[in-house]
Amino acid sequence: MDILPAIDLRGGKCVRLIQGDYQREIRYRDDPVEVALDFQKDGARWIHIVDLDGAKQGKLANLPAIKSITQATSVQIEVGGGIRCLEDIRALLDVGITRVILGTKALQDWPWFENLLQKPELANRLALGLDARDGRLAVSGWTDQTAQSALDFAQRVRDWPLAAIIYTDISKDGMLVGPNLQATEELALSTSVPVIAAGGVTTEADVRALAQLPLAGIIIGRALYEGRITI
């Protein structure tokens, strides 16, 4: 199981949002490249990047910062946030991104998503982001809550050629209160697609508990920045 340190980009800076609330921002570092290099030095094999501006605007917004990170590091990188067209996917792959995470557009336009997965050049390069609050999906940078179930979507794609499902429990994200183990396990068991979990990981005990679940990885943000966990 991989630990994926998280870099959330807003205005080219490294920040964290509390429960995805754009009004509750914690700024950690001005230079995300330095952050990425520190994670690489600490032994990270993957880095998880979220384009917060892109998630809100519905289009890729922090490509220069993302490109700088890929050029400065040798780790594998996945990126999500506002990616809703093939051009943005290709732009990310062209700068060296390993895996692109699709959320809002994929969930709202299923035929478009299915068509992407049939493209040979995108084989094993796409992940589905399922961001849930109380089991219900949130879209558009977590600003819109839906009535759709994250579990239903995980089951729907159980045999699809996806690189991963990125499952985030929004109610736990950035709160340092521990992960939702029950919901995470239930979702991971519902699909054959590798699942990477995020939200609330705070202590080494949380990491050990998640390591007992059928997960491919866990994403850690605030707890790493505040020194509560080391890679």
For the residues 200-220, what does the mean pLDDT come to? 96
Which pLDDT belongs to residue 138? 77
CA distance 40 to 37: 5
For the entire predicted model, the pTM comes to 0.92
The proportion of the chain whose per-residue pLDDT surpasses 70, expressed as a percent, equals 93
3-state SS, the chain, equals CEEEEEEEEECCEEEEEECCEEEEEEEEECCHHHHHHHHHHCCCCEEEEEEHHHHHHCCCCCHHHHHHHHHHCCCEEEEECCCCCHHHHHHHHHCCCCEEEECHHHHHCHHHHHHHHCCHHHCCCEEEEEEEECCEEEECCCCEEEEEEHHHHHHHCCCCCCCEEEEEECCCCCCCCCCCHHHHHHHHHCCCCCEEEECCCCCHHHHHHHHCCCCCEEEECHHHHCCCCCC
For the residues 40-60, what does the mean pLDDT come to? 95
Task: For the beta carbon of residue 26, count every other beta carbon within 10 angstroms.
Answer: 15
Q: Is residue 231 included in any domain, yes or no?
A: no
- 33 pLDDT band, cuts 50/70/90, is very high
Which pLDDT belongs to residue 217? 98
Is residue 173 a contact partner of residue 201, using CB atoms and an 8 Å limit?
no
Mean per-residue pLDDT of the chain:
91
For the residues 150-172, what does the mean pLDDT come to? 89
Q: Is residue 35 included in any domain, yes or no?
A: yes
Which pLDDT belongs to residue 170? 78
Residue 140: give its domain's CATH number.
3.20.20.70
Q: Is residue 108 included in any domain, yes or no?
A: yes
Q: Is residue 147 included in any domain, yes or no?
A: yes
Which pLDDT belongs to residue 137? 86
Count the domains in the chain: 1
- 135 pLDDT band, cuts 50/70/90, is confident
Q: Is the confidence at residue 35, as pLDDT, over 90?
A: yes
Which pLDDT belongs to residue 20? 67
Q: Is residue 230 included in any domain, yes or no?
A: no
Task: For the beta carbon of residue 177, count every other beta carbon within 10 angstroms.
Answer: 14
Which residue from 136, 110, 99, 64 is spatially nearest to 219, judged by alpha carbons? 99
| Catalytic residue set | 8, 131
Which pLDDT belongs to residue 30? 86
Q: Is residue 122 included in any domain, yes or no?
A: yes
- 199 pLDDT band, cuts 50/70/90, is confident
- Domain containing 83: what range? 2-225
